[in-house]
Structure 1
Amino acid sequence: MPVKCVSQVLTNFNCKAMNYSCFIGIDLSKKTFDVSIISPEREELNYFQLPNTAAGTRRLVKRVHELCIPLSKILFCAEDMGELAIELCLASQSAGFPLALACPLSIKKSAGICRGKSDRIDAYKIACHASLHHRNLRLYSLPEPALTRLKLFITLREDLVKSKKRFSSVDTTLIESGKIADTGEHRQVTKEQLDLLDRQIKHVENCMLECLKESPLLYRNFRLLRSVKGIGLLNACLLICLTGNFTRFENHRKFACYCGVAPFEFSSGTSIRGKNRVSKLGNKQMKVYLTSAAQAAIMHDDQIKKYYKRKLEEGKHKGTVINAIRAKLVARCFAVIRRQQPFIAMLA
């Protein structure tokens, strides 16, 4: 498709008010990415497909230069697809163009009623999302290398823990089967594998600590988080990763919404659809870790313990009280980071 004359399309457009002269939506896949370039009036100016490689991103920048618009006046937007977006993110930093990585679910929910699906349609939807919500989108910047390594170690540890659970389940089965036949050799194999996994998990945890020590700011925030009773190594590391070392979220309330521990009202007119409840769209990984933190806090924090017992005596549901404690821990974590002082427990 030939490139349209941008000056004609943007005749009545106030660039100063909108900041960007056009928007580019990029639909990422493993081998290729589709590009849709639209005007602020959401008219498609151009569409093409390129390989999802370093060479492909260089060709993208070259094609965009044909628009004769400074790169700083063009907003690139793609879905946050993890490793599929790495080449695009690196190109953004090297070429200096603004890039926003949007939540795929946000794009899907804001697209309205859709009929049909193709890579070109998806790229156009992403561009429209950038056009409508560009003032609320956060521009991408490369994270610290230590933060990236820390995320990978967390993922690796979770995989090792899952493998340990599988072998533990096999060992339990062998114990029961040992009542019928000799399973000594089988159990020896599983025992060796479990011992190996224990050593690997411990090694990964040590590596996580070394990653934190590579960055003074990361390590300082980590030690502040550990001052909150209930927040251990894994909770602290995951909090640092998900918040971008506490730069992605303005306050603890927004992070509580992100984790799925903030209750919301469900009503319409005079109809009240049940009690306030949390959303199912929260980050389940962080929610599970916060549940463990809440249980630890109930055991070791006198103030939390008395709060927990008091609410149960008032007739509150156990799950509701646990969720409130999760929210309290999130608030405490953000407070110690904001004040840059360790948490000091008040008299219960």
Structure 2
Amino acid sequence: MTPITPDTAPISEVAGGVDTHQDTHTAAVIDPVGRVLGTEQFPATPAGYAALLAWMRAFGHLTRVGVEGTGVYGAGLTRLLRAEHLDVIEIDRPDRKARRFQGKSDPIDAIAAAKAALAGDRTGTPKQREGRIEALRTLRIARRSAIDQRADTQRQIKALIVTAPDALRQSLRGLTTTKLIVTCAGLAPDRDHAAGPATATQLALRSLARRHQQLSAEIADLDELLDALVTAINPRLTATYGVGTDTAGQLLVTAGENHDRIHNEAAFAMLCGVAPIPASSGKTTRHRLNRGGDRQANAALYRVVLCRLRWDPRTRAYMERRTQDGLSKKEIIRCLKRYVARELYGLITANDQEHVA
């Protein structure tokens, strides 16, 4: 799309927007009053990122860029824009009402991203994808995948035992999970009779049990790496009552490397989905449950609360006092998650301030 402004009318400042995809990025540039100056598509490669930035700057002084998917397809472009000291705004996809009226295409989404960045409708700062927090995130992905696969393997073993021949089923029933895995891994069926159901079942159980053992070893190795990494990043967080390596790692990943993008503890609570949403109308003043935010961080805070409810005297006293006030257990847990979010946010930001000092 060619520019709509003549060459004799220079524009001092412009804003950009980018709709990111796996193979291509579509960019748009608008002037300070929202007029579209041009749209163009570029390959999602380092050379394409550089060409996109040069194309945007050809329209004038580039002040800010709204990017969809800064943590996924737009991660590489975001790194380049941040290295050029540009103000990068994280843009959500347009809402359904806007799409019904405007339609859907890559240029339309890029223009919408540019307008949202210019108007200040979106002010989210993308996470930095460099540093120890990014290393922590990638290791946690591998660990979560191994845990899920090990759980699936264990369920498959128990499902096979239910339908196994009577003699094999009776020998394996009643065993604990640990003994069951060891027993199945040590089975020595005759491979020459694999066509028989009994032998085939033993072969399958042995294969699954050894896979389970391999995944357990992989998880233990990742846990060792994560323990050292999380402790090095924020030792005070892991030393907090009820906060283990997994919980601390999730909260650190949620906050990101650049923690200063979260302005205060209320913003952190909203990010974790533990800040109540106002739902008042007229003479009715109430709040409703927040179902947004990072649900993994929400689950991490929930685990901290459960641990403290069982072992921490202060938390148990709070539970009893609020129960007498008429609150249900779910409501009390929601309050406790909000308090825990405030406490842990202070530890995360205090760790940053100590490094700066």
Bin of the TM-score, shorter chain as denominator length = 0.7 to 0.9
SS at 1:83 equivalent: coil
Contact 1:266 / 1:276 at 8 angstroms: preserved in 2? yes
- Residue number among 334, 342, 356 corresponding to 1:323 in the alignment: 334
Q: Which residue of 2 aligns with 1:346?
A: none
Contact 2:19 / 2:106 at 8 angstroms: preserved in 1? yes
SS at 2:291 equivalent: coil
Q: Give CA deviations for 1:33-90 in whole Å, capped at 9, x if unaligned.
A: 11111111110001111111111112112323422x34xx431210134231122023
SS at 1:33 equivalent: strand
Q: Distance in 2 between matches of 1:147 and 1:29?
A: 25
SS at 1:114 equivalent: helix
Q: Which residue of 1 aligns with 2:279?
A: 266
Q: Which moved more, 1:1-10 or 1:155-164?
A: 1-10
Contact 2:90 / 2:126 at 8 angstroms: preserved in 1? no
Q: Which residue of 1 aligns with 2:219?
A: 201
Aligned counterparts, 1:150-161, within 5 A: 150-161=136-147
Structure 2 CA distance for partners of 1:141 and 1:271, relative to 1, 3 Å = closer
Q: Which moved more, 1:123-132 or 1:312-321?
A: 312-321
Structure 2 CA distance for partners of 1:289 and 1:337, relative to 1, 3 Å = closer
Q: Which moved more, 1:159-168 or 1:242-251?
A: 242-251
Q: Which residue of 1 aligns with 2:158?
A: 172
Q: Distance in 1 between matches of 2:351 and 2:48?
A: 44
Cα RMSD (Å): 2.8
Structure 2: 5+ residue stretches without partners: 169-200, 353-357
How far 1:313 moved relative to its partner?
4.6
Contact 2:28 / 2:111 at 8 angstroms: preserved in 1? yes
Residue identity matched to 1:8: A
SS at 2:74 equivalent: helix
SS at 2:215 equivalent: helix
Structure 2 CA distance for partners of 1:98 and 1:140, relative to 1, 3 Å = farther
Q: Distance in 2 between matches of 1:257 and 1:176?
A: 46
Contact 1:23 / 1:75 at 8 angstroms: preserved in 2? yes
Residue identity matched to 2:213: D
Q: Give CA deviations for 1:243-273 in whole Å, capped at 9, x if unaligned.
A: 125323122221111111111231222466x
How far 1:334 moved relative to its partner?
2.0
Q: Which moved more, 1:228-237 or 1:166-175?
A: 166-175
Q: Which residue of 2 aligns with 1:133?
A: 120
Residue identity matched to 2:162: E
How far 1:103 moved relative to its partner?
4.2
SS at 1:100 equivalent: strand
Contact 1:34 / 1:48 at 8 angstroms: preserved in 2? yes
Q: Distance in 2 between matches of 1:7 and 1:76?
A: 25
Q: What is the number of equivalent residue pairs in this alignment?
A: 318
Aligned counterparts, 1:232-247, within 5 A: 232-245=244-257, 246-247=259-260
Q: Give CA deviations for 1:143-196 in whole Å, capped at 9, x if unaligned.
A: 442221111111111111111221121122123223647344433322222221
SS at 1:158 equivalent: helix
Structure 2 CA distance for partners of 1:171 and 1:59, relative to 1, 3 Å = same
- Residue number among 70, 78, 90 corresponding to 2:67 in the alignment: 78
Structure 2 CA distance for partners of 1:7 and 1:279, relative to 1, 3 Å = farther
Residue identity matched to 1:130: A
Contact 2:70 / 2:126 at 8 angstroms: preserved in 1? no
Q: Which residue of 2 aligns with 1:286?
A: 297
Q: Which residue of 2 aligns with 1:108?
A: 95
Would you say 1:334 and 2:345 are equivalent positions?
yes
Q: Distance in 2 between matches of 1:244 and 1:250?
A: 13
How far 1:110 moved relative to its partner?
9.7
Contact 2:251 / 2:300 at 8 angstroms: preserved in 1? no
Q: What TM-score comes out, normalization by structure 2 length? A: 0.79
SS at 2:64 equivalent: strand
Q: Which moved more, 1:199-208 or 1:183-192?
A: 183-192
Q: Distance in 2 between matches of 1:335 and 1:315?
A: 30
Q: Which residue of 2 aligns with 1:63?
A: 55
Structure 2 CA distance for partners of 1:205 and 1:5, relative to 1, 3 Å = farther
